[in-house]
Chains A and B, each alone.
Chain A
Amino acid sequence: MKRLALLLLLSGCSKPPEAEPLAFQSLGAFEYKDKMKLPDDVARWNGRTVKATGFMNPTSQARNLTTFLLVKDRSSCCFGKRPQINHYIEVKLKPGTTADYSSDPVTIQGVIKVDDRWDGDWQLGLYWMEGVEVLK
């Protein structure tokens, strides 16, 4: 009986966490200043498994993408508007998987890292997701 309870407990532990819906509004509703401390309600997302919906900005390639920027609105994906640093997530797909560009909104799932990364004087980004699955 004890063994069964332990098995049940272990199986419960190994179950991947349920993805939480993440709206861009939660990430982009503040004015970013260089190297600022990020607001708590943004930082709290770090390391959580999330499902986010946005538009793909594929930069120059359109097929077999392994990375892209997920941006919050259609203007930033497709009509030449450049997104603010807190208005996009840099997405890397699961190794071995690719996606084609779509002008429709897409939903992705993965673990988000909230991390203000710099390379010397150059800011690389704020939001990162690796091992991402494109759901639709």
Chain B
Amino acid sequence: MILALLFLLQDSAKLVQEIEYANSKDKPQFHVQAMRKLKDRGGAAVAEEILRFVAKNGHNAVSIAFTEGLGDLKDARLTALLRELVRDKDFLWRPTAMRALADAADRGSLDDFRAGLGDKLWGCRAASILALEKLGDKSSADVIRGLLADGVYDVRAQAARTLYAFGDSAGLPVLIEALRADTVWFGIDYGQIAREDAWTFLKSVAKDDFGYKPWETAEQRAPGLAKAEAWIAKTIPDWRDRIPEKARMRATAVEYVFGFERRSCQRGDFFFRLDKEGSLVVGYFTLEKATLTPEELRDFNAALDKVKRVDRSIPYGQGGCDFEQYYVADGPKFDRLWIGVAGRPAPVEPFTRTVLELLRKKFGERVAEEFRQSSDLFRMSE
């Protein structure tokens, strides 16, 4: 009897440790292991202990891996917790929570998924589309069709795949167009990510890889691209006309003089550049451009000069998957200023304010809001 009690106590201590390790800030290498252990363990006790942990420490005490794994634990109370996390606008990993709910294909979250199609965070929009596909919610097809014109490739691509799963080929032109993605961001070909993603899906639909290799140069890819376009033209002759404006890849031979890249696991990404002609260019795969007036350009450059004076040889703030990079021209190449969470040096702040105002003026409230919502994360802590 005593032995059995001892065993129970020991096991309960192990369970508590597994939950702590799954969320530990200084042992990130244990996160995945801990979640696997919790999954293997399963059962009501796991859910109860997790709920106790979250009640005691708050939503933002949980790690991204933990959030991701909650759906795998297959417990209605944890699914409800995920819903709570998705609805908490201050929760750090909302897109991950939405994705976990989508993976669980939880019918009880149908309203959250429908609402998620209009979420400000693209990760939430993409996960919601996937979830509605899994739930077979064809009544959302019209809204999803509208998302073929989303400004973010991942959302457009998910909309295309989901519509196809619903028996609607309307999104295929968007994916064919993505085979042209050629977004080189200061030396890194991020366009390849879209090309590979689109190609992987298209070849499964066409049962043909078109001889196209997404990692090759544009010249080498050309014959495969022509074959893919000929394939879509057989079933959708006007496929080019059906590509929404925002999904069209535009060849840009423009030279950029400055770049801003914000990557945030917590809040989403934001990109803009300034080209040689003095235009502000917002976006990643799909670029929106606005020419600055001489006064606006002068203000922009004045604020940028302060940024340029910050020592770029050291990183600022905390390491991790939330950071800003300022690409500053240094002769023929670009030098980078790297800023992590709570690390933005004071001379950079006026630049952030100037940009926010310009974005509002030139691209509207939605774009400005996207920039603003992830900006505070990087402000230096008092």
Binding site for B on A (CB under 8 A): 57-63, 69, 78-80, 82, 85, 90, 100-103, 121-125
Q: Is the CB of B315 within 8 A of A101?
A: yes
User: Distance (Å) between the CB of B27 and the closest chain A CB?
Assistant: 9
CB atoms of B318 and A79 under 8 A apart: no
The distance in angstroms between the C-alpha atoms of A90 and B30, with both chains bound, is 13
Chain A proximity mask over B283-322: 1 for CB below 8 Å, otherwise 0: 0000000000000000000000000000001111111110
- List the B side residues contacting A57 at CB < 8 Å: 319
Interface residue ranges of B7-23 to A (CB < 8 Å): 14, 21
B65 part of interface (Cβ distance < 8 Å): yes
Name which of B170-178, B220-228, B336-344 contacts chain A. B336-344
In the bound assembly, the distance between CA atoms of A100 and B313 in angstroms comes to 9
Q: Which of B159-197 touch A at CB < 8 Å?
A: none
Cβ-defined partner of B319 (8 Å) among A58, A122, A123: A58
B64 near A102 (CB under 8 angstroms)? no
Of the candidates B21, B263, B319, B336, which one forms a contact with A60 in the assembled complex, judged by CB atoms under 8 Å apart?
A: B319
Answer yes or no: B323 CB below 8 A from chain A CBs.
Answer: yes
Q: Which B-chain residue is minimally distant from A104 (CB atoms)?
A: B336
Instruction: Decide: A62 and B33 in contact? CB cutoff 8 A.
Output: no
Enumerate chain A residues within 8 angstroms of B317, measured Cβ to Cβ: 62
Q: With A79-B263, A100-B314, A101-B338 known to touch, is A61 a contact of B33 (CB < 8 Å)?
A: no
**Of A60, A69, A79, A80, which is within 8 A of B26 by CB?**
A60
Q: Would B29 and A69 count as touching, CB distance under 8 A? A: yes
Determine whether the beta carbon of A82 is less than 8 Å from that of B33: no
Are A122 and B21 closer than 8 Å at their CB atoms?
A: yes
Excluding A78-B321, A121-B14, 19 further A-B contacts by CB distance (< 8 Å) are A58-B320, A60-B25, A60-B320, A61-B318, A62-B316, A62-B317, A62-B319, A63-B315, A78-B323, A79-B321, A80-B265, A82-B28, A82-B32, A100-B315, A101-B319, A101-B338, A102-B338, A103-B338, A122-B21
Majority SS of interface residues in chain B? mixed
Bound-complex Cα distance A59 to B31 (A): 12
Q: Which 10 A-B pairs have the closest CB atoms?
A: A58-B319, A80-B321, A80-B265, A62-B315, A62-B319, A101-B315, A101-B319, A62-B340, A60-B318, A100-B314
Q: Does B138 contact A (CB under 8 A)?
A: no
B339: nearest residue on chain A (CB-CB)?
A62
Q: Which of A58, A60, A85, A124 has the most CB of B within 10 A?
A: A60
Q: List 29 A-B contacts (CB under 8 A).
A: A59-B26, A59-B28, A59-B320, A60-B26, A60-B318, A61-B319, A62-B338, A63-B314, A63-B315, A69-B29, A78-B263, A78-B321, A78-B323, A79-B321, A80-B265, A80-B321, A82-B32, A82-B65, A100-B313, A100-B315, A101-B315, A101-B338, A102-B338, A103-B336, A121-B14, A121-B37, A122-B21, A123-B33, A125-B29
A78 to B323 CA separation, bound complex (whole angstroms): 8
A106–B14 alpha-carbon span in the complex (Å): 38
Least Cβ distance of B56 to chain A in Å?
A: 22
Which residues of chain B have C-beta atoms less than 8 A from A79's C-beta?
263, 265, 321
A123 to B34 CA separation, bound complex (whole angstroms)? 10
Cβ contacts under 8 Å, B313 to chain A? 100
Contact of A103 with B265 in the complex, beta carbons under 8 Å: no
B344 CB to nearest chain A CB (Å): 13
- Pick from B14, B315, B323 the residue with the most CB of A within 10 Å: B315
Inter-chain contacts of A60 with B (CB < 8 A):
25-26, 318-320
Contact yes or no, B21 A103, CB < 8 A:
no
In the complex, are the beta carbons of A59 and B319 less than 8 A apart? yes
Q: How far is the CB of B330 from chain A (nearest CB, A)?
A: 14
B53 CB, nearest partner CB in chain A, Å: 18
Q: Is B354 part of the contact surface with A, judged by Cβ < 8 Å? A: no
A82/B338 in contact, CB under 8 A:
no
B318 interface neighbour in A62, A90, A122, Cβ under 8 Å: A62
